[in-house]
Amino acid sequence: MKLRLLSYNIRFGGLGREPALVKTIAAAAPDVVLFQEATRPDVIARLAAATGMTAWAATPAHSVGFMSRLPVKDHAWHRPRGSRRALLELALEGTETRLFGVHLTAVHSNWTERRRMRELTAMLAAIEKHREGFHVLAGDFNTLAPGETLDLRLLPRRLQFVALLSGPTIRWRTIPIMLDAGYRDGYRSLHPQDDGHTFPTWAPHVRLDFVFVPGAAAARLESCEVVKGADAAAASDHFPLLAVVDA
């Protein structure tokens, strides 16, 4: 089965931007959408109805949510010890592939990077029993990959202050945890020369959104693209990522 998976941070629950969100999602034609900042269930319900999704789940208590046009076997939110945010687990009917929705702590600094490292380590421990089977982790990791850079001058002044207060150079160490655990950075592996910037939509200059698959099954990732365009620029502060996997 070819599974079209969209990972999408819809910003503050998406309220008031439903028309642009619907257009962006419909144009991508996903089978499943993993949301971040999906804290308005009423918005997710309207998006699902407008895009023909038959199953959805979201709660104000968690950032991560989903909607699917495919039958869902089960889903659950997990809050591993050490993580401030929940990890969403989703299983579909007709495939053993599991999907995990991730949204790590925001703000760029060495302090928050250490928190993201703790969160991600806890999440990987929580899904250890599924590590041998094919699975996908996707979402807003709020960090940079090795070799990528952040121009602090592009941040709002208050965030520049936070970043500099924690040290003159931010040591991006969260994504290496994924790579050291044997995962493949989906976008970068297929687009080694492209920037892939997903944030912010009005002046993209960093890649905060990722799709990861086990390295041993990297061939099952057929494509991974940033979804851009006028509707996507109006819909959120993040451009979504669309991945196609052999589920």
Parts of the chain with a pLDDT under 70: 155, 158-168
Closest Cα partner for 65 from 95, 93, 45, 92? 45
Residue 206 DSSP label: B
Residue 12 DSSP label: G
* CATH number for the domain that contains residue 208: 3.60.10.10
Alpha carbon distance 71, 92 (integer Å): 6
The model's pLDDT over 140-164, given as tens digits with 9 standing for 90+, comes to 999 999 999 988 777 677 666 666 6
Tell me the residue range of the domain where 66 lies. Answer: 2-246
Q: What is the pLDDT of residue 159?
A: 64
What total of structural domains would you count in the chain? 1
Q: What is the pLDDT of residue 135?
A: 98
At residue 233, the 3 state secondary structure works out as helix
Q: What is the pLDDT of residue 163?
A: 63
**Could you give the dihedral angle defined by the CA atoms of residues 14, 16, 22 and 24, in that order, rounded to the nearest 10 degrees?**
-70
Alpha carbon distance 40, 14 (integer Å): 7
Burial class, 157, CB count within 10 angstroms (exposed 0-12 / middle 13-18 / buried 19+):
exposed
At residue 133, the 3 state secondary structure works out as coil
Q: What is the CA radius of gyration of the chain?
A: 17
